[in-house]
Amino acid sequence: ISMSIKCSSSTDVEKFAAALARFTREDPTFRIVYDEDNKESIAMGMGELQLDIYAQRIQREYGVKIEMGKPKVSFRESLVNPIKFDYLHKKQSGGAGQFARVIGILEV
């Protein structure tokens, strides 16, 4: 399982890094990876209980408040073939209303 993990205070970053380094040395099933796309640290372990225990240990042994949550997901999509579109927008809300038509082709 993986969860995002970050230090709540910028003044405790060194203690936070020391705690993570120590725990990764002690336990081969606990890993920390930095996600370049989303700019966040990801903690990986055998289960949610293990990650919660490490979070509590960081707070108890190092006095560092941390925030844990679901990791962000980078959504990536690319076009394979050119796509034609024709969109007609009509909105009548009293008065003159709105009208627009957009025709185009999306291609790589």
Output the 3-class SS for 36-80.
Answer: CCCCEEEEECCCHHHHHHHHHHHHHHHCCCEEEECCCCCCCCCCC
- For 104, the 3-state DSSP assignment is strand
What are φ and ψ of residue 43, in 5° steps? -95, 130
Q: How many residues does the chain have?
A: 108
pLDDT recorded at residue 95: 81
pLDDT recorded at residue 84: 94
> Could you tell me the fold of the domain covering 2-69?
Alpha-Beta Plaits (3.30.70)
The answer to pTM > 0.75 is no
Averaged pLDDT of the chain? 89
Give the separation between CA 98 and CA 67, rounded to whole angstroms. 47
What residue segments make up the domains of the chain, in order of their start? 2-69
Mean pLDDT of 50-54: 91
What are φ and ψ of residue 8, in 5° steps? -70, -30
Q: Per DSSP, what are the bridge partners of residue 44?
A: 2, 31
